[in-house]
A and B are shown apart, each in its own frame.
Chain A
C-alpha cells in the first residue's frame, strides 16, 4: 500500500537555527497538506497545496516559515530561525483532491532547545 513519506522522523535543533522537513506524497495525489500538532491538541493546518499552487497558508507564520512544492510532487517546509515554541509534531498529508480522504505520513517530531 502506498504511503506518505516524511523525513527526518526526529529533529533536535537549537533556537535560532534553520530546520527543514521533507514530504513525499502518494503518487498522483494533487493535494498536499502540512500540519503542526502540539501535544494534546488537534493538528493545525499550516499550508495546503493544490499541485504546485498554494491554496491556503493563512496560518503559516511567514516571517519564519516557508513551504514549497516546486514540481507539484514532493514538498519542503522550512523554519528559520527556529524558536522554542516551534517544538511540535509536523505532519504531512496528501489526497487525490480537496475534500477527499487524507493520507498522513508518520510525522517529524521537532524539539527546539
Chain B
C-alpha cells in the first residue's frame, strides 16, 4: 500500500506562494500522484495530477522529482478562499493497490 505523509497544517498570507510537500516512499511504477482540495461539508475537488517532472494547470503546479518518492503542490498567489484541506494521494491505474486519502494538510490563509 502506497501511503502518503503530509504536514498536518500550514499557515500563509494572501498573495504568497504556498508549497505543500507530500512523501510517498512506496509508490509503484505505474501509480499517478493526485491532489484534491476539500472545503467543510463538501466533497473533495480535483486540483491536479501528475506522473513525473512538472505539471501545471490554471490553478496549481505539481513538481515530482525523478525518484517519485515525493511531490510538491504549488499554489501561486493564494487568497483567503484557498483556506481548505489539501490531500495528496497515490492513484493506481490497475492492480490490487487501493486509493488511500491521508489526513491531509489544513491550509489556513491569513489576510
Contacts and interface: CB of A to CB of B under 8 A. Distances in A.
Interface string A27-49: 00000010100000111110010
Chain B interface category by residue count = 20 to 34
A104 B45 contact: yes
A2 interface: no
Interface string B33-58: 01010000111111001000000000
Chain A interface category by residue count = 20 to 34
> In terms of DSSP, what is the predominant structure of the interface of chain B?
loop
A48 B93 contact: no
Contacts of B96: 56
A93 B32 CA distance: 18
B99 interface: yes
Interface of A: 33, 35, 41-45, 48, 56, 58-59, 91, 93, 97-99, 101-107
